[in-house]
Structure 1
Amino acid sequence: MNIEQLNADYGIDDQLKFVEGAGGFPFIKIDNDKASAVISVYAGQVLSFQPANDPNNLMFLSEAAYYQPGKAIKGGVPICWPWFGLDPDGLGRPAHGFVRNRFWNVVRTGVTADGDAIVTLGLIDTPETKAIWPHSFNLSLEITIGESLNLELVTRNTDTRPFFITQAFHTYFKVGHINQVAVLGLDGLDYIDKADNAAHKLQTGTVSIGAEVDRIYRKAQGKLVIDDAAQCRRICITSQGSNTAVVWNPWAKISAEMADLKDDDYQRLLCVETANADLDVVEIAPDSEFRLVANYRIEHDLSHVLKGTQPVTTG
């Protein structure tokens, strides 16, 4: 991809420009009155989002991340599609699908009447993708950079037969310290504990992190909140089109084993993922579409976040 041509076609003066990023990947840098952000055209992945009123980035991005074709970038918002987790058919295909490790197309850029920047990236089927997943599709990701970060992933079935997908925004949030984090909004939900032999459990109180956590929460809808006490903020997550939430932290052993994480990175990251996974499988008919939406907003006035909810430090 030619950076000069991308800027000529899609750049926006004083707000949005294309630059050569790590690994030579085209990055989109956005800086407006409300926030700054970095988006990688490779993987269609938001790598950074920092509101103008917050001294800390919303996103965790590993300093040891890979920037190589065929590799996933560790951090930001990787897109898992058309399946979440291991290959559902056991054919040895990559975990979390094939769109987080290839270049996307820039479809359009723009600015709203409110001054938010909008970037739309897309993918369509090719002979290469059909060799991996034998369906025709049109996938688009609309990213809105304003006071909040808004993501809309739209899957359109351009095939002659229905197909089924699972998917996720595999979002890595940057937290002050994992020992001072709680996730609110999951109390009373059933979950699959993948760190405990996929045992079925019931969440009681808020979620705190004191060991490896890898959980798939069923019937998770509406608003979730990450109480990031060390940074004196809460991260509000609202979603549409999702009945599943995934909470993941690798903890010390796995963090040390991952070449694209530093040994102590687990202390600074928490994934809370908006997903269709587990039993939440989406069927899309021919000439139909499905929309997965997530909005991330940092709140400093804590009295307005899940009013009346008090953190309970339970597992």
Structure 2
Amino acid sequence: MNIEQLNNDYGIADQVKFIEGAGGFPFIKIDNAKAGAVISVYGGQVLSFQPANEPHNLMFLSESAYYQPGKSIKGGTPICWPWFGPDPEQLGRPSHGFVRTLFWNVAGTETTADGDSKVTLGLTDTAETRAIWPHGFSLSLAITVGDSLNLELITRNTTSQTFHITQALHTYFRVGHIDQVAISGLDGTEYIDKADNALLKLQTGTITIGTEVDRIYRDVDRELLIDDAMFGRRIRIKSTGSKTAVVWNPWAKISTGMGDLKDDDYERFVCVETANAGSDIVKVGPNAECRLGANYHIERTLPELSNDFPTAA
């Protein structure tokens, strides 16, 4: 992709700029009166989001992340599609689908009436994707950067045959320290504990993390809150088109074994994912569409103490 041409076609003066990012990937740098953000066109992935008056980035982005074709970027908002987790047909295809390792197309940029910046990215099926997943589709991701960060993933079936998908916005939230994190909104909710032989369990109270956590919460219909005590903030998550929430932290052993994480990175993030996963399978009929959305908003609980500016670019 030609950076100069992208700026000519889609740049917005003093607000939306295309730059060459890590690994030579095209990045979209947003800087408006409300917030700053960085989006990778590779993977269709928000790497950084920081409201103007917020001292810390919302997103965790690994300093050891890969910026290589065929590898996913560790951090931000990876898109899992058209399946979440292992290959559902056990054909040796990559976990979490294939769109997080493709270059997306830039479909449009705009400034909304209330001063937010909106970027729309898209993908359509190709011979390459059909060799992996034999269906025709049009995928659109609308990213709106303002006081909050809003994501909407729209799947369109462009064929005359029904297909089924699972999917997730696999968002990595940066936290001050995992020992001081509590997640609320899931009390009384059943979950599949993938870290304990996929046993079905019931959540009691808030979620705190002191070991590996890999859970699929079922029939979720409430807002979720991440209480990040060290950073003096709460992260409010509002989801649409989803009945599933996934909570994940790899803890020490898995983090140490990942080449794109530092050994102690598990202390600095938690994934709370808006998803259709497990038994929450979405049926998309011929020429029909489905929408999966998430809105992330930061609420401060302590005064600002320091500045922590995005480093993804």
Q: Do 2:166 and 2:277's aligned partners in 1 also have CA atoms closer than 8 Å?
A: yes
Alpha-carbon separation, structure 2, partners of 1:3 and 1:222: 41
1:131-175 deviation per Cα after TM superposition (whole angstroms, max 9, x unaligned): 000000000000000000000000000011000000000000000
> Secondary structure at the residue paired with 2:101?
coil
Q: Which amino acid aligns with 1:73?
A: I
What RMSD over aligned residues (CA atoms) do the two structures have, in Å?
0.7
Structure 2 residue aligned with 1:99: 99
Q: Which amino acid aligns with 1:115?
A: G
Find out whether 1:4 has 2:4 as its counterpart. Answer: yes
Structure 1 residue aligned with 2:199: 199
Cα deviation, residue 301, structure 1: 5.4
1:89-147 deviation per Cα after TM superposition (whole angstroms, max 9, x unaligned): 00000000000001000000000011000000000000110000000000000000000
Structure 2 residue aligned with 1:44: 44
Alpha-carbon separation, structure 2, partners of 1:241 and 1:221: 10
- Paired residues, number: 302
Q: Which amino acid aligns with 2:187?
A: D
Q: Do 1:80 and 1:170's aligned partners in 2 also have CA atoms closer than 8 Å?
A: yes
Deviates more, 1:97-106 or 1:213-222: 213-222
Alpha-carbon separation, structure 2, partners of 1:20 and 1:301: 36
TM-score by length of 1: 0.95
Structure 1 residue aligned with 2:210: 210
Structure 2 residue aligned with 1:78: 78
Cα deviation, residue 222, structure 1: 2.7
* Structure 1: 4+ residue segments shifted above 6 A: none
Q: Which amino acid aligns with 2:288?
A: S
Which structure's relative contact order is higher, taking Cα pairs within 8 Å and 6+ residues apart? 2
Q: Do 1:222 and 1:240's aligned partners in 2 also have CA atoms closer than 8 Å?
A: no
Q: Do 2:27 and 2:41's aligned partners in 1 also have CA atoms closer than 8 Å?
A: yes
TM-score by length of 2: 0.96
Alpha-carbon separation, structure 1, partners of 2:291 and 2:103: 21
Which structure 2 residue ranges, 5 or more long, are not aligned?
A: 303-313
Aligned 1:273-284 pairs, distance under 5 A: 273-284=273-284
Q: Which amino acid aligns with 2:272?
A: V
Q: Which amino acid aligns with 1:42?
A: Y
Find out whether 1:118 has 2:118 as its counterpart. Answer: yes
Structure 2 residue aligned with 1:264: 264
Cα deviation, residue 221, structure 1: 1.8
Q: Do 2:27 and 2:40's aligned partners in 1 also have CA atoms closer than 8 Å?
A: yes
Aligned 1:131-280 pairs, distance under 5 A: 131-280=131-280
Find out whether 1:128 has 2:152 as its counterpart. Answer: no
Alpha-carbon separation, structure 2, partners of 1:278 and 1:90: 15
1:11-55 deviation per Cα after TM superposition (whole angstroms, max 9, x unaligned): 000000000000000000000010000000000000000011110
Alpha-carbon separation, structure 1, partners of 2:60 and 2:173: 5
> Secondary structure at the residue paired with 2:99?
coil
% identical aligned pairs? 73
Which structure 1 residue ranges, 5 or more long, are not aligned?
A: 303-315
